[in-house]
Amino acid sequence: MEQHLKGKYDAEIELISSGGGVFEVTLEDKLIFSKKSLGRFPEHSEIDDLINQSLV
């Protein structure tokens, strides 16, 4: 996913390793996806959709 996002968006993408199965995506210091909160990984294009919605 990191490579996909780096190739698609002109943005700084950083993968931060963590423990406990945490998977979170932030955009401009705003949390846009949290596996911990939702109890699941994102769907195929969900992160792209969330990024696009946030950039509007």
Mean pLDDT, residues 10-37 taken together: 85
Mean pLDDT, residues 22-28 taken together: 88
Which pTM does this prediction carry?
0.78
Dig out the tokens for 7 from the structure.
């190739």
CA distance 51 to 35: 16
* Residue boundaries of the structural domains of the chain: 2-55
pLDDT in the model for residue 38: 94
pLDDT in the model for residue 44: 85
Mean pLDDT, residues 35-49 taken together: 92
Mean pLDDT, residues 2-19 taken together: 82
